[in-house]
Amino acid sequence: MRLRRTSEGIELSANPFLRRLLISRWPQWILTVLALAGFLYAILAGLFGTPVGNRNLAITAVWIAWWAVLLLILVPLGGRAWCSICPIPAAGDWLQRGGLMNSDGRQPRGLGRRWPRRLRNLWMQNAGFLLLGITSTVILTTPLVSALMLAGLLAMALIVSAIFERRTFCRYLCPVGGFIGMYSLAAPLALRVKDPAICAEHASKDCYRGSELGHGCPWMVYPGTLQRNAACGLCMECLRTCPLDNVALVLKSPASDLTSSGRKPPISLDESFKAFIMLGAALIYSAVLFGPWAEWKQAAYGIGTLPWFGYALVFSGLALLVIPALYATAAWLGRHAGGIKSIGWRNFLLRSTSGLVPLGLAAWVAFSLSFVFINGAYVISTLSDPLGLDWDLFGTAAVSWQPVLSGLLPGLQMTVLMIGLAWSTSVTIRAISHAVSTRGSRLLASVPTIGANMAIILILGWLYL
């Protein structure tokens, strides 16, 4: 396998076979259609199948199987790889492109309006995820609600695609896409240009505007200046449209997006709040769903009841107040301890909280391991009996529930958390190193944030171990 090493990393697309595979629309299209078929099947199962969650494919396929593949493999290794074959925006894409396989990107259909400037950030996605978060115990366990939520996302993506340009839904509204984008900053897979100078001199900007070879970047990103994974959907359109062969799929150092030099902090305020919300959600879910406290489970499930409002308040308070306050205090202490004058407190906060990306990713991987190891058997039985109607399509309907390696689970979770803590420590120190000149003050400045990270890991460890 021929690969080339560039300043960004190993250029995977230098391999002729892989390049052909990436440029061809067929592999991506087939995977998207298969995912869409599975998605629609899950919606039908949720609408017409048994209301018992662990006997319905809408729950097991989406919240056990898909979630496991997404959090344990795709996001940590491939960043937004899922977004490249996600079925939710597929119908909207086809609508805008005027066909299922239309590769000519010169005349997009639809109203093509621009998303309001003040909403071009993650705040809507943060609010959407928080809303899903406080209602998720019902979504995760009730097939009908799950199906309605999935169908709602599908309809919303289609409507937004008809009104607004390109992948506005994915970029600014999809509650899943928001956290995938943030955690993709830690992933090693990336699309980058080989030589930015070539892009700067290239007038037609086919990668952004589109050409007869493909569509202008659906994610509204100009690849010529792309330096981070968050907004790149890995759709490969720029690889297809670039007439100068200046775009590459690279394997780079993980989390290098979070430690790049420059005066600008590696994450923005909306992204840091995304990190706070995700970390808060991981803590709450670990305690409520996998802890022994039944009252909290009932409260999380009883949407609209007084206990649920208490749960929603605790969830939102932890994600939007307690965790941000913890890290804001840590940043304030760190900035003073390190004697940092070159950058302001907000800049320092954003730098020091960039370590929450690998930390949060580790927390979610550890949390998701429980789903796979403990509840994975439900996927096997519901494959044969997707609606819970006593079918046996593949002869696996009678497979009884049995946890897999349940004795090893806490050990695996702790290993992931320890890797996450080490990784976040390294990222935190490197992210603030551009603002602090000496090694001693750098360590002093990072100690409070690292302490906060350690406290989070200790709480998760206490819950899992």
Shortest reach from residue 289's CB to another protein, in Å: 5
Enter the tokens of residue 458: 């200790």
Smallest gap from Cβ 99 to another protein, in A, equals: 42
Q: How far is CA 250 from CA 190, 215, 257, 328, in A?
A: 5, 21, 13, 35
| Helices (H), ranges, 243-305 | 269-290, 294-301
- 112 is written with which tokens? 């093509």
- The reply to whether 305 sits near another protein by the rule CB under 8 A is no
Using the rule CB under 8 A, which residue among 98, 291, 317, 440 binds another protein? 291
How near is the Cβ of 68 to another protein at its closest, in Å? Answer: 14
In the complex, the smallest distance separating the C-beta of residue 75 from another protein, rounded to whole angstroms, is: 21
Cβ pair 238, 223 in contact under 8 A = yes
Q: Which of 112, 307, 376, 410 binds another protein (CB under 8 A)?
A: 410
In sequence order, what are the residues at sequence separation of 6 or more whose Cβ sits closer than 8 angstroms to the Cβ of residue 347?
A: 263, 265, 435
Indicate whether 152 belongs to the interface with another protein (CB under 8 A): no
Closer of 96 and 375 to another protein (Cβ): 375
Q: For another protein, which is the closer residue by CB, 154 or 457?
A: 457
Q: Is residue 443 near another protein by the rule CB under 8 A?
A: yes
CB contact set of 195 (below 8 Å; sequence gap of 6+): 246
For residues 332 and 193, give the distance between their C-alpha atoms in angstroms, rounded to a whole number: 37
Region 248-277 residues binding another protein, contact defined as CB under 8 A: 259
Please answer whether residues 381 and 398 qualify as being in contact, where contact means their C-beta atoms are separated by less than 8 angstroms: yes
Nearer to another protein by C-beta: 67 or 169? 67
In the three-class reduction of DSSP (H, G, I as helix; E, B as strand; rest coil), residue 249 is classed as: strand
293 is a site residue for another protein (CB under 8 A)? yes
Which among 76-84, 165-173, 225-233, 293-301 is the span making contact with another protein, rule CB under 8 A? Answer: 293-301
> Does 102 participate in binding another protein (rule CB under 8 A)?
no
Closer to another protein by Cβ: residue 110 or 461 = 461
Phi, psi of 33 (to 5 degrees): -65, -40
Q: CB–CB of 85/32 below 8 Å?
A: yes
Contact 187, 229 (CB under 8 A): yes
Of 231 and 399, the one with the shorter C-beta distance to another protein is: 399
Q: Contact positions toward another protein, by CB under 8 A? A: 51-55, 137, 141-142, 259, 288-294, 297-298, 301, 374-375, 401, 403, 406-407, 409-411, 414-415, 417-419, 421-430, 433, 443, 450, 454, 457-458, 461-462, 465
